[in-house]
Amino acid sequence: MDFELSREHEEFRHVVRDFAAAHIAPYVAGWDRDHHFPVETIQAMGDLGLFGLTAPEEYGGAGADFTSLCVAIEELGRVDQSIGITLEAGVGLGINPILTFGSQQQKERWLPDLVAGRALAGFGLTEPGAGSDAGATTTRAVLDQHTWVINGSKQFITNSGSAITSLVTVTARTGEREGGRPEISAIIVPADTPGFVAERAYDKLGWHISDTHPLTFTDARVPEDHLLGERGRGYAQFLATLDDGRVAIAALAVGLIEGCLELCRAYAGERHTFGVPIGSKQGVAFQLADLAVMAAAGRALTYRAAAMKDAGRTGPEFTQAASIAKLYTSEAAVTATRVATQIFGGYGFMEEYPVARFYRDAKILEIGEGTSEVQRMLIARGLGLPVE
């Protein structure tokens, strides 16, 4: 049994770390303050190969493993969560559904730009009345002479309205099954489709740099061949992509915990009270020890799940491991940012210190890609409990 990442993974980690130090860290506070989505930096991440990491070479990807993607997300997450989620959603929600379920024609049309980071795609599942209960979708798509006519709305959709968003894949009711259950399908909607509007970006508590919009569809028409995968499989397709997404979110959370630990370690050595560094006070030192435990435990859970995925063990055991990693790391990240802000004292409450941004950014980790309650529900079901 080997608990270490390979030398290649560690070397790759340093490539991403150097990139983040040079191209993200110096600017991120300003972007966050201005709610600025830095297209050039996102595209530079594309040039570095980050969006194409796990895509096959035929679409311009590197064909690397899922663990590599987690390493990249973790490293970006140490510096900024918004940039990390832009990559996570760009790959997990933008590229992967097309890669996994798309037709050859859809792959050839959309993937090269997405894989190169020249374009971004979103995935619209959540609606005002359908979040955790994602099957309660009310957006409708009706086939009219080989054209899907889409009406409805989506909310909180990442990467859906940026200057380089090329498409959004949305779930919609395309019919009814026996017993009145909805038939839900996934449909690719190009960004320039008349009747499709990415409304004004949200004012969010955190993730200020990440691009998040409500979407409306008013008689938005797309050709019949924009259906993604099989008709009626839209909800199942989305669920299938969620397990990977949860592990990737766990990597993002681990990056955040490590970022907190790093900043606090330095600060605990520099900041003096009562004539000594605060790190020499047990009350502070023990908090740093707790951060180190969270980072180590979070990494172990995350990379164990990533290794299962890379080994092709993607059954119920992986679903369970993904939920466990996501639940633990997201809750630990919220705790870690609270602890870090406390260690920084009054400075921790000031926006010029990264821990203030980290504190605001952490909360969403417990909500996106399945709330903590949903993870607990899934984990309990994995234990054989009939939880609703």
Cβ neighbours around 96 below 10 Å, total: 21
**Which residues within the stretch 110-139 sit at the binding site for ligand FAD (CB under 6 A)?**
122-126, 131-132
Q: Identify which of residues 239 and 296 has a Cβ nearer to ligand FAD in the complex.
A: 239
Pairing mode, strands 120-124 and 165-176: parallel
Residue 285's Cβ-count burial label (10 Å; 0-12, 13-18, 19+) is: middle
User: Least distance (Å) from ligand FAD to the CB of residue 125?
Assistant: 3
User: Least distance (Å) from ligand FAD to the CB of residue 333?
Assistant: 15
Site string for ligand FAD, 191-210 (x = CB under 6 A): -------------x--x---
Sign of torsion, CA 277 279 281 287? positive
CA–CA distance, 385 with 31 (Å, rounded to integer):
45
Report which of 221, 230, 121, 220 is spatially closest to residue 186, judged by C-alpha positions.
230
324 binds ligand FAD, rule: CB under 6 A: no
Report which of 247, 212, 267, 249 is spatially closest to residue 333, judged by C-alpha positions.
249
Q: Identify which of residues 307 and 322 has a Cβ nearer to ligand FAD in the complex.
A: 322
**Which residues within the stretch 71-110 sit at the binding site for ligand FAD (CB under 6 A)?**
89, 93
Compute the C-alpha angle 224/227/231, nearest 5°: 105
- Say whether 116 sits in a helix, a strand or coil: helix
368 binds ligand FAD, rule: CB under 6 A: yes
User: Least distance (Å) from ligand FAD to the CB of residue 130?
Assistant: 7
- Judged by CB under 6 A, the stretch of 107-115, 150-158, 222-230, 288-296 that binds ligand FAD is 150-158
Report which of 124, 119, 69 is spatially closest to residue 93, judged by C-alpha positions.
124
**Which residues within the stretch 156-185 sit at the binding site for ligand FAD (CB under 6 A)?**
156-158
Q: Identify which of residues 56 and 135 has a Cβ nearer to ligand FAD in the complex.
A: 135
**Which residues within the stretch 207-246 sit at the binding site for ligand FAD (CB under 6 A)?**
207, 212
Cβ neighbours around 288 below 10 Å, total: 20
Residues at the contact surface with ligand FAD, assessed by CB under 6 A = 89, 93, 122-126, 131-132, 156-158, 204, 207, 212, 364, 367-371, 373-374, 377
